[in-house]
């Protein structure tokens, strides 16, 4: 499985579904991978991108502190799979010359990658799979009354298409 | 500082402020300590109390898995302080015969205590302080148009006074 390094190109609110979306893209390429995530996770990622800190430690801050206390770092994050309209990720921890991979949601993984300045990789096939899966998701869930399908919208996605997440 | 062992007596939605509240109380005593928390943290605690699992690991599940992977457990949680209307807590981790205390919000701490079946302690003075602080908070924030003050409501708090958090 070829893993492509990506960066978070934006975190935004999908104007049609009102759901937050984190958009990943490979550097210097036109492709994007949009991942719909929860509001609280979007908030954490948006704060991290804006270099803002909450006055009290949020859950991801607690996770970071716990790992640091245990002399452990997040070394990389991999978005590996898409099954039943759900993206899967792994968080790689390094402790005492050992590496551990942990199953995680993409939203938590991306938040932790940003906190530890760790690289994010996406399995190349996901860029192709995502469009088909999201189209079937839109049909199955009858998500919108909008005549434009999710897949159609997906084709046009770029950060400017979303209302920016404002803090 | 005398620490009193408590249990989570309920997690509920304050009908007046629409904010979730986790109510702690010492076993066999009439006292209660209500702590207003965020919606997503309330959801996690409510799921934990109901023994429900999300299909994918939530952030607190990820924290638990990371700790377990590092052969670390949460041994206790202490709600230690109340300053500027904010409760402070510490999470105690045990790893390889060492103990580490980490600063955390009560909501995260309580969620982790429930996940690790670790005891929760509250500094005794907080039961007295909470009422005064919450009264001043209600006045300062002009939280409600309700003629009944937050402190008055606090006196009457018991799990039946709240709409139960439904999952």
Instruction: Write down all domains in chain B, each with its CATH number in brackets.
Output: 3-164 (3.10.690.10)
pLDDT of residue A31: 84
* pTM (predicted TM-score): 0.82
The predicted structure's pLDDT at residue A18: 83
Q: How far is A86 from chain B (nearest CA, A)?
A: 9
CB contacts < 8 A, A to B, total 76
Q: Which residue out of B60, B66, B81 would a mutagenesis test of the A interface target, given it has the greatest number of A Cβ atoms within 10 Å?
A: B66
Residue A163 has pLDDT above 70, yes or no: no
Mutation target vs A (from B40, B55, B57, B62; most A CBs, 10 A cutoff)? B62
Q: In chain B, pLDDT over 70 holds for what percent of residues? A: 78
CA angle B95, B99, B104 (to 5 degrees): 105
Lowest pLDDT segment from A18-22, A144-148, B6-10: A144-148
Enumerate the residues of chain B whose CB falls inside 8 A of the CB of residue A102: 62, 65-66, 69
Q: What is the mean pLDDT of residues B79-104?
A: 95
Residue B163 neighbours by CB under 8 Å, 6+ apart: B12, B13, B15
Cβ <8 Å between B70 and A70: yes
Distance between CA atoms of residues B78 and B63, nearest Å: 18
pLDDT tens string B107-150: 999 999 999 999 999 999 999 887 666 666 556 655 544 445 55
The phi and psi torsions of A143 (rounded to 5 degrees) equal -60, -40
Q: Which residue has the higher pLDDT, B17 or B20?
A: B20
Q: What is the 3-state secondary structure (H, E, C) of chain A?
A: CCEEEEEEEEEEECCCCCCEEEEEEECCCCCCEEEECCHHHHHHHHHHHCCCCCCCCCHHHHHHHHHHHCCEEEEEEEEEEEECCEEEEEEEEEECCEEEEEEECHHHHHHHHHHHCCCEEEEHHHHHHHHHHHHHHHHHHCCCCCCCCHHHHHHHCCHHHCEECCC
Cβ pair B70:A93 closer than 8 A: yes
What residues of B are in contact with residue A40 (Cβ under 8 Å)?
Answer: 38, 40
Contacts of A56 in chain B (CB under 8 A): 86, 105
Question: What average pLDDT does the segment B10-32 reach?
Answer: 86
pLDDT digits (tens, 9 = 90+) for A12-46: 887 777 889 999 999 888 788 999 999 989 999 99
The residue among B10 and A79 whose pLDDT is bigger is A79
DSSP-based helix, strand, coil % in chain B, nearest 5: 35, 35, 30
Whether the pLDDT of residue B165 is over 50: the answer is no
pLDDT band at A143 (very low <50, low <70, confident <90, very high): low
Using a CB-CB distance cutoff of 8 angstroms, which residues of chain A are in contact with residue B60? Answer: 59
């Amino acid at each position: 499985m070829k893993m492509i390094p990506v960066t978070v190109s934006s975190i935004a609110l999908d104007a049609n579904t009102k759901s937050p979306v984190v958009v990943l893209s490979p550097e210097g390429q036109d492709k994007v991978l949009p991942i719909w995530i929860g509001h609280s996770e979007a908030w954490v990622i948006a704060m991290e991108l804006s270099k803002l800190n909450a006055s009290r430690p949020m859950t991801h801050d607690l996770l970071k502190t716990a790992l640091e206390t245990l002399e452990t770092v997040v070394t990389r994050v991999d978005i590996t799979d898409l099954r039943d309209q759900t993206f899967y990720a792994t968080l790689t921890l390094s402790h005492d010359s050992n590496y551990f991979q942990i199953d995680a949601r993409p939203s938590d993984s991306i938040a932790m990658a940003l906190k530890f300045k760790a690289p994010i990789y996406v399995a190349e096939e996901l860029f192709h799979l995502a469009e088909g899966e999201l189209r079937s998701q839109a049909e199955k869930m009858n998500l919108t009354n909008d005549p434009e399908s999710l897949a159609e919208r997906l084709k046009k996605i770029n950060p400017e298409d979303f209302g920016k997440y404002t803090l």
